[in-house]
Amino acid sequence: MKILVCISHVPDTTSKINFTEENTKFDSNGVQFVINPNDEFGLTRAMWFKEKQGAEVTVVNVGTSETEPTLRKALAIGADGAIRINTPATNSFSVAKQLANVAKDGAYDLIIAGRESIDYNGGMVPGMLAALIDANFVNNCINLDVEGSDAKATREIDGGKETVSTTLPLVIGGQKGLVEESDLRIPNMRGIMMARKKPLTVVEANETSKETTSISFEKPTPKGAVKLVASDNIDELVNLLHNEAKVI
């Protein structure tokens, strides 16, 4: 089985978020980047397929050379090869199109993407990618087994779970549940040493059309201080809710 894992290069969740160029660009200064958590769950599941079922695992990212350390971390964790599509990831559709080119060329059986990346939280790439390459698609996937060309996947639905059977080629939008946090792998020292010896292929982007462009970003207004109202002072509470918070 040939697996392609889509890896998004995202700011660590503890990063301070700021924007530059008149709020049109994310300020990456001093920000630590990591493998998108949903993708890491997928990568870890892919490693399981590699070890238990002999799958071959390639990781792919759409991005400039700054994302290579993240790809090399995936190699250190155990992926066999990496591909970087050399263009900045600007919007979901163009990213999906770039990934589709690589996916078609490599004739992958299973493509694991994350349900969403934790930077822009678009959540659209996996679905678009599946449509572009005409593959089956399971989103919000929390469990996945493959036998031959048959796949059994469980996805999270409102208030419960749904298990579906489908066939390869398949694209999933994965999340926690594919594996648990405790299954995530710390790259071992040999893996880190080997990562440099594994192929990291840079391919040029096919077309870099921009269907949507960001005009500006805005941060939410910071939460104010908490006001404590004595439990017997209902009038004050009503007054605050009505006149200050304006919610009643």
Partner 1 sequence: MEKEILRGGQFLVKETSCENIFTPEDFNEDQLMMKEAVTEFVDREIWAKKAQFEQKDYALTESCMRQAGELGFLSISVPEAYGGMGMGFVDTCLVCDYISGATGSFSTAFGAHTGIGTMPITLYGNEEQKQKYVPKLASGEWFGSYCLTEPSAGSDANSGKTKAVLSQDGKTYKITGQKMWISNAGFCSVMIVFARIEDDKNITGFIVEYDPENPNGITMGEEEHKLGIRASSTRQVFFNDTVVPVENMLSTRGNGFKIAMNALNVGRIKLAAACLDAQRRTITESVKYANERIQFKTPISSFGAIRQKIAEMATNCWVGEAATYRASKDIEDRITLRQNNGKDTHQEAELKGVEEYAIECSILKVAVSEFVQKCTDEGIQIFGGMGFSEETPIESAWRDARISRIYEGTNEINRMLSIGMLIKKAMKGHVNVLEPAMAVKEELMGIPSFDVPDYSELFSEEKNIIKNLKKLFLMVAGATLQKYGEKIEKQQQLMLAASDILIQIYLAESAILRAEKMANKEGEDNVKEQIAMAKLNLFHAIDVIETAGKHSIISFSTGDEQRMMLMGLKRYIKYVNMPNIIELRHIIAEKVINENKYCF
Q: Which residues bind partner 1 (CB under 8 A)?
A: 16, 69, 72-73, 76, 182, 186-193, 195-196
Please tell me the distance from the alpha carbon of residue 48 to that of residue 34, in angstroms, as a whole number. 21
Residue 206 Cβ, how far from partner 1 at the closest point, in Å?
A: 28
CB atoms within 10 A of CB 38: 27
Closest to partner 1 by CB, 186 vs 248, is 186
Residue 123 Cβ, how far from partner 1 at the closest point, in Å?
A: 27
Closest to partner 1 by CB, 182 vs 231, is 182
- Between the two ends of the chain, the Cα-to-Cα distance in Å is 58
Q: Which 3 state secondary structure label does DSSP give 49?
A: helix
Residue 162 Cβ, how far from partner 1 at the closest point, in Å?
A: 32
What would the DSSP string read from start to end of 109-129? SEEEEES--TTT----HHHHH
Class of residue 205 by CB neighbours under 10 A (exposed 0-12, middle 13-18, buried 19+): middle
Residue 193 Cβ, how far from partner 1 at the closest point, in Å?
A: 6
Closest to partner 1 by CB, 41 vs 137, is 41
Closest to partner 1 by CB, 16 vs 223, is 16
Query: What b/e string do you get for 148-185 counting C-beta neighbours within 10 Å, with b at 16 or more?
Result: eeebebbbbeeeeeeeeebebbbbbbbbebbbeeeeee
Residue 129 Cβ, how far from partner 1 at the closest point, in Å?
A: 28
Number of residues that make up the chain = 248
Closest to partner 1 by CB, 52 vs 190, is 190
CB 88, CB 61: distance < 8 Å: no
Residue 132 Cβ, how far from partner 1 at the closest point, in Å?
A: 33
Q: Which 3 state secondary structure label does DSSP give 21?
A: coil
Closest to partner 1 by CB, 161 vs 227, is 227
